[in-house]
Chain A
Amino acid sequence: MQSFNESVTRIVAFWLNETRRMRADPGQFIVIVMLPVLMAAVLTPMALAVLRMKGYSHANGAEQSVPGMAVLFSFTSTTLLGGAFFREHLWNTWERLRASPAQPFEIILGKCSPVFVLSLCQLSIVWGVGILAFHLRISGSLTTIAVLNVFLSWATLGIGMALVAVCQSIDQIGIIGNLGSMVLGGLSGAFMPIDLHSSLGMVARFSPLFWALKAFQSVIFDGKGILDNAFTCLLLFGFGAGGFLIARARFRMADIKIGRT
């Protein structure tokens, strides 16, 4: 019991430390919230034209641009997670953590959970601005959107943790995170709808962003619910779990990582 209490205390300490760190340097979070909102504003007129061509006569463009940018920029949480781990190496505090009574799972949980919450905040803000500022109309329920947000954040967190385990430097994870966001998002139709039967559409099926976007649009246009998107939720859970399994196999506390850009 004492051991359990000590574990909880340390996880809370990591949580608190991460949030203090992010509050002290909020630039990165502001950017990953501002960018999708700005991009959605830019893309909405173009998305409107495309949606009207596709027969959505009542669409205002936000149905494509808001979920598209929410999904695209959700992947940037991998760089937030990378920062949470790699900066410890830059500041030499990783060695201090290794010489503490903290168990590896406490460190990982304590660092992943704030990023998970931040990812949910990011998505919620983008959806909120979409509804309030871009007049996005959602046929289905907001609860379904919220549940899908949770599974999408889980998927990107798992992939982020796999990248933390595999990458050697903060630059690597930054490049993969930002480039991955653009490439996977583009492939998945985050900028513009894609033809599902094209070769691009076939490749997109390997991206969690594709499945998330497809599910979000089924809620927006067709009013689908959680059960209708159960398969997507399962897939997103699988992407996240796969990432954590890779991390479990490759992550070593003793690995030397480069935290300096």
Chain B
Amino acid sequence: MLRVSGLRKSYKGHEVLKEIDLTVEPGDIVALIGVNGAGKTTLTSIVAGLRSADAGHVSICGVDVLKDPIASHKHLGLASQEVALYPILSGWQNLDFFGRILGVRSKFRQHRIEEVAHSLGLTEFLQQRVETLSGGQRRRLHTAVAMLHRPAVLLLDEPTVGADIQSRQKLLDEVRHFAAQGSAVVYATHYLPEVEALGASVAILHEGRIAARGDSYSIITRYAKRAIELHFEGEVPAGLREFAVTGGQDSGGRQELGHAVIPVRDPGRDLAEIITGLGDSASRLRSVEFRQPSLEAAFLQITAGESTALAEEVIDAVV
């Protein structure tokens, strides 16, 4: 199992991790989610013994990672964000090499390679050079390497980036299966639907802290507010704009013109009041959608900072 306590890390005076506490028991899948720069990769790197920490304690199966990283690596499987394979060797040669390095005994190695390749749908590609495989196949092979020695703790950093739907599904199935066999899995991701598909518990990393921790249901119940999504012709009326949460951003992170997501408590009553409050601007309203509470809404609520005012305040401001 994995235990992290009081973990701190700074880069050039900027505190990236502030007092991180996290425990992952055997059989658990913990989804580590956070915006870019929240510290996910720094945390997984420290847990993997690849970076030092300024303070705190990390142990894997009772082995102190910060004092003896190499000893802890026997119990660790890491699939970092970037695919790490030898492109000029075949899939089988990659798995064979890492199997040897990771201590998979020779009499089990061939069987284990076949087993993990089968479960991730790689059997027919094993003799091909990695450089000839598709992005999704490489991503699956990359994850297969991390699972090869059946580690007690599996760290997956955005394992489905660039993977096609089929690859993504195979990866998720195998991660679930892996945890069911007793491994503790830390799954860093941006894709929240995957978290729900995995049935994972959630640790939301925000500004260097675990801002929320629990199963998806409790996080949604506690943090997610229902919301109304309003689409206007032209710009969002000034009174509403400052209360819209980040759901109304375009791909470049800017507030999308004419699109606002407003957290509410009672959608029907609050919508009526918002429309009344819009006055003349109501004529520019083109469509309204009701958003149900979701992990995404909870995540936005936790990470959006000051843009989380509830409908009453919005209504007051508009009226």
Residues of chain A at the chain B interface (Cβ within 8 Å): 6, 9-10, 12-14, 16-17, 20-21, 24-25, 91-93, 95-103, 254
Contact = CB atoms under 8 A, between A and B. Distances in A.
Interface in B85-113: 85-89, 93, 97-98, 100-103
Contacts of B83: 92
The list of the 10 closest CB pairs from A to B, nearest first, reads A13-B100, A92-B84, A96-B84, A99-B78, A24-B88, A92-B82, A17-B97, A101-B73, A99-B48, A93-B84
Interface residues of B, number: 28
A25 B102 CA distance: 25
B70 interface: yes
Nearest to A10: B101
Contacts of B70: 101-103
B98 A100 contact: yes
B86 A91 contact: yes
A101 B74 contact: yes
B50 interface: yes
Contacts of B93: 17, 20
A13 B103 CA distance: 10
A198 to B, nearest CB: 47
B86 A21 contact: yes
A21 B73 contact: no
Nearest to B88: A24
B78 A16 contact: no
B97 A99 contact: no
B201 interface: no
Nearest to A96: B84
Nearest to A98: B50
A91 B85 contact: yes
B86 A101 contact: no
A100 B101 contact: yes
Nearest to B80: A95
A100 B88 CA distance: 21
Contacts of A95: 50, 78, 80, 82, 84
B73 A100 contact: yes
Given A10-B100, A13-B101, A99-B73, A21 B89 contact: yes
B80 to A, nearest CB: 6
B76 A99 contact: yes
A16 B49 CA distance: 26
A54 B71 CA distance: 63
A222 to B, nearest CB: 46
B145 interface: yes
A99 B71 CA distance: 10
Interface string B57-86: 000000000000011011010101011111
Given A91-B87, A96-B84, A98-B49, 12 more contacts: A16-B97, A20-B89, A24-B88, A91-B86, A93-B86, A96-B78, A99-B80, A100-B102, A101-B70, A101-B101, A101-B102, A101-B103
